[in-house]
Chain A
Amino acid sequence: MRRWIGVPLLTAAVALAGAFAAEPAAAQDAEALRRELEQMRKQFDSMKESYEKAINNLSERLQKLESAPPPTPPPVTVAPSPPAVASQAPPATPAPSGTPSLMDLARPREPFSLYERRGAGQLLFDMGITGDFIGNLTQYNVQQAQGGTFDGLENYFFPREIELNLFGQIDPYARAEVRFEAGQDTRGESINVSLAEANLTLMTLPFNTQAKLGQMRVRFGLSNEIHEHDLPFIDRPDVLREFFGDNGLVEKGGEVTWVPSLPFYLQFLGGLFDGDNETAFGLASIKYPLVTGRVRTFIDLDEWGAIQLGMSVANGLQPDRLNNLILGWDMKYKYVPEGWQHPLFTTAGELLYQIRRVNSSGEDLNGDGIPDTPDEKRTLHRVGGYLYGELQPIRFGFWSRFAGGLRYDWTEYATASGHQWAVQPYLSFLPSEFLRFRLGYKHTEGDTAGCCTNTGIGSARIKDEWFFQSTFIMGAHPAHPF
């Protein structure tokens, strides 16, 4: 290779020298030409030397790269002791992530070497993908009635939520989060892709307030703001599905939070939304908005764990302009023993109370098919809640990756009469922080015969369901709050 570079240069120099020599020069010019030739030779020698140095450097680097094991991070070698304490101020930018020099660009490299040289966050936002797959088995009559927990998808394995999550700072004052979601809602049909969330948070507003604007999971209670794959159990609690629908309360609008300067943690939240949720509200107008509120506090018991208490409210209009008010109370307790890296015990629960105005049709008293009493407006009072506990009792080793839990649900139907209860034990296995498998069994009983069919055939009054869930996370995923 050295010869390959050297030969053309030498040839060029000789040719140039020859050209000069071929000039019909006078004798007095011969000395000048000789000097010039000598100078060019020196230049050539110096150039040759610098090329040799560069080639040697490249050869050494190549040798090092070839001898290094490719996939693992480089082993740490004994470095010469750096000066005792570097007291000077650090350079403005960290050396390892600086801009590549011309020599860096000239070096032979793997495709990713320049990409890796980017500074932290040079992409300017983080991204991650989560995948959540569900399989469920249940009785045939439940499938016929399409009344299972995952209605219409009974005895089926399907992607519940494949999510592309993009989040990061917009500028020094705001951050944003965008989530696209794909999942299967109906058996055998193609996957639906939708915008799950897209919002920005203004972080530097006066009076210690923050504002979140866009489409979001409303911060009502504990579970509603949590995405399906992040839930501490397999399915969304019955009361939330009954009062807010299968997807929970996802709305377009804004929320403002305020954390007053007090000796204890207290967060107030107020929200205004369109009210698109068809199950609970549905008028879908910012003129008559869905108004939400939440207050939560936190008691840190140090080595004895911590408790979070919260209260929520959502008030909005239904399409017939009748009011629906839902109140919620929630509690969560977590106990992480000193030095443990996961909670030993977690328990949480929510209680919801709905006050809903509905149009009630007149009653047919004499059986002639014609209502004998006039239509009237009534107020329905409905209650529901759930409580769960989870235990991850082993601190280290293979068995530390298992967690077992039990959830109990009890809820009245949002508009119909009657109630249902369910009990659900489940077992989670986490091979790593980014992969989780769950196995669960759910027994549900409704107290009204024929209450639980979406097709008019079959019945899902009593359901026994087996669930299997597998969840993965690729890339960045924001840390979860308490």
Chain B
Amino acid sequence: MSIARRSFCLAVAGIAVTIASGARAADKIRVVATTTDLKALTEAVGGRLVDVDAMARGNQNPHDLEVRPSLMLKVRRADMLVTNGLELDQWAEVVVQGANNPKVVLGAPGRVDASQGISVLEVPTARVDRSMGDVHPVGNPHYTMDPGLAGPITANILEGLARVAPESRSAFDQNRREFLARLDQAMAGWTQTMEPFRGARIVQYHPLFVYFFTRFGLVKGGSVEDRPGIPPTPEHLVRLIAEMKQGGVKLVVVEPWNDIKLAERVAQEAGAKVRVLAPSVGAVKEADTYFAMVDYNVRTIAEALR
């Protein structure tokens, strides 16, 4: 057999294997989530009946993801798309437009906005404009940071999965109940760990942990960013350091994709510590599951404030 013919046979075999593996995956409901948090929660509800992929990686800032055609390919094959909503992942719309998949366009049964029914925090009560930075006019979109909101989020996912596969509703419901029961148990531990630190003031780099703080009774003590998405000016940093000293702020938390060195300088000046938190599943090595992410954030803050 000539080399050319052998190469051709190998290529055909490769394509056949790929298509076969695709067919195997087709038995499951193919879900794409915009973030790794939503991926983890969808897996919790869908269990073995779903095959979930995330568009943003855990260590990527989901505010401004680069729309690659490879994301369109993921969405092209999806039966369901789970978005964060609240204007965090608006780029998903460009992905959907390039994916040519009618199952997941806005209004389709396979489209889930996980923010439905969430009590949104930081909804502006006065008129907002871009002089305030990259503010979200419909409120803070980082609600997945609060494990207490897993209930309504998974309820939205459950409804979406049940629309796509109504025959499996009871299985999804059972999975969700089991997940929430485990979460309840873990929550008791997390609440106990954080109890001594209720009222502690913490500076964030970006207002990403507001829901987490609210859940565990922590107080936002300022932001390294002058305004959301706008790099800080020296005047703002001087003011922040003074406020931190005055308010006795002992901790600055930062996301892995932001300027950790700058956060360290601010903390050093103010006599505080810096800790990198996990703003999503997979953002840091220790936060590879939803439980591990919450656990990591709780432990990191508790150890730093101790």
| Chain A positions 200-223 with a Cβ under 8 Å from a chain B Cβ | 201, 203-205, 208-210
Q: Which of A68, A91, A113, A258 touches B117 (beta carbons < 8 Å)?
A: A91
Q: Is B122 an interface residue (CB 8 A)?
A: yes
Instruction: Tell me which residues from 193 to 215 in chain B have a Cβ below 8 Å from any Cβ of chain A.
Output: 198-199, 210, 213-215
* CA gap between A365 and B231 in the complex, in Å: 71
Report yes or no: A341 in contact with B64, Cβ–Cβ below 8 A.
yes
Q: Is the beta-carbon distance between B156 and A204 smaller than 8 angstroms?
A: no
* B69 lies within 8 A of A204 (CB): no
In the complex, whether A296 has a CB less than 8 A from a CB of chain B is yes
A201 to B102, CA, bound (A): 12
Interface status of B166 (Cβ within 8 A of chain A): no
Interface presence of A369 (CB below 8 A): no
What is the chain A residue whose CB lies nearest that of B76?
Answer: A259
A58 at the interface (CB under 8 A from B): no
Across the interface, do B116 and A205 meet the contact criterion of CB distance under 8 Å? no
A contact residues around B96 at 8 Å (CB)? 203
Find out whether the CB atom of A205 lies under 8 angstroms from the CB atom of B102: yes
Interface size bucket, B side? 35 or more
* CB–CB A265/B69 < 8 A: yes
Select A78's contact among B64, B139, B150, B218, beta carbons within 8 Å: B218
Pick from A397, A479, A482: contact of B93, CB under 8 Å: A479
Inter-chain contact B123/A96, CB cutoff 8 Å: yes
B31: Cβ under 8 A from any A Cβ: no
Segment of B34-42, B83-91, B240-248, B285-293 engaged in the interface with chain A: B83-91
Digitize B207-247: 1 where CB-to-A-CB distance is under 8 Å, 0 elsewhere: 00010011111111000000001110000000000000000
**Interface residues of A toward B: which range?**
35 or more
Q: How far is the CB of A129 from chain B (nearest CB, A)?
A: 12
Beta-carbon contacts under 8 Å, B259-273 to A: 259, 261-262
Cβ-defined contact, B130 with A474, below 8 A: yes
Across the interface, do A261 and B150 meet the contact criterion of CB distance under 8 Å?
no
Chain B hits for A87, CB < 8 A: 151, 155, 177, 180
Selected from B72, B91, B155, B210, the residue in CB contact (under 8 A) with A88 is: B155
Q: Are A172 and B107 in contact (CB under 8 A)?
A: yes
Please indicate the chain A residues that have their CB under 8 angstroms from the CB of B49 in the complex: none
Give CA–CA (A401, B180) in the complex, Å: 44
| B47 contacts the other chain (CB 8 A) | no
- Give every chain A residue within 8 A of B91 (Cβ-Cβ): 479
Q: Which residue of B lies closest to A86 (CB)?
A: B151
Cβ-closest chain B residue relative to A482:
B68
- Decide if B11 is an interface residue (CB 8 Å cutoff): no
* Contact among B70, B183, B217 for A85, CB-based, below 8 A: B183
Whether B151 contacts A265 by the Cβ 8 Å rule is: no
A387 at the interface (CB under 8 A from B): no
* A105 lies within 8 A of chain B by Cβ: no
How many Å from the CB of B105 to the closest CB on chain A? 5
Closest chain A residue to B22, Cβ basis: A263
Within 8 A of B (CB), among A67-104: 68, 70-79, 81-92, 94-97
In the complex, residue of chain B having the shortest beta-carbon distance to the beta carbon of A263: B18
Whether the Cβ atoms of A120 and B86 lie closer than 8 Å is: yes
Give the shortest distance, in Å, between A98 (CB) and chain B (any CB).
11
CA distance A203 to B219 in the complex (A): 45
Name A15-47 residues within 8 Å CB distance of B: none
Contact A432 B230 (CB under 8 A): yes
A70→B292 CA distance, assembly (Å): 39
The interface residues of chain B lying within 8 Å CB-to-CB of A113 are 125
Within the assembled complex, what's the spacing in Å between the Cα atoms of A480 and B101?
A: 19
Is there an interface contact between B138 and A481, defined as CB atoms closer than 8 Å?
Answer: no
Kindly state the separation between the CA atoms of A351 and B47 in the bound complex, as whole angstroms.
49
Q: Is B122 within 8 A of A73, CB to CB? A: yes
- Most chain-B Cβ atoms within 10 A of its Cβ — which of A74, A85, A297? A85
Q: Which residue of B lies closest to A475 (CB)?
A: B130
Docked-complex contact B94 and A78, CB < 8 angstroms: no
A54, B85: Cα distance in complex, Å = 36
Contact of B76 among A92, A208, A343, A397 (CB under 8 A): A208
A204/B102 in contact, CB under 8 A: yes
For the complex, give the distance between the alpha carbons of A81 and B70 in Å: 41
CB contacts (< 8 Å) of A474 on chain B: these are 130
Contacts of A71 in B (CB 8 A): 126, 131-132
In the complex, what residue of chain A is closest to B119 when comparing beta carbons? A95
- B73: chain A residues at CB < 8 Å are 259, 264-265, 298
A90 pairs with B90, CB closer than 8 A: no
- A203/B67 in contact, CB under 8 A: no
Q: Cβ of A338 < 8 Å from any Cβ of B? A: yes
The 7 nearest A-B residue pairs measured at CB: A90-B117, A172-B107, A204-B102, A298-B69, A86-B151, A396-B259, A300-B70
List 20 contacting pairs A-B, 8 Å CB cutoff, sorted by A.
A76-B121, A76-B213, A76-B214, A78-B214, A84-B187, A85-B187, A88-B155, A90-B117, A110-B127, A116-B137, A172-B107, A257-B100, A259-B72, A259-B73, A259-B98, A261-B76, A297-B69, A298-B69, A298-B70, A341-B64
Told that A259-B100, A432-B134 touch, could you supply 6 new A-B pairs with CB distance under 8 A?
A: A81-B215, A91-B117, A96-B139, A116-B124, A209-B100, A267-B72
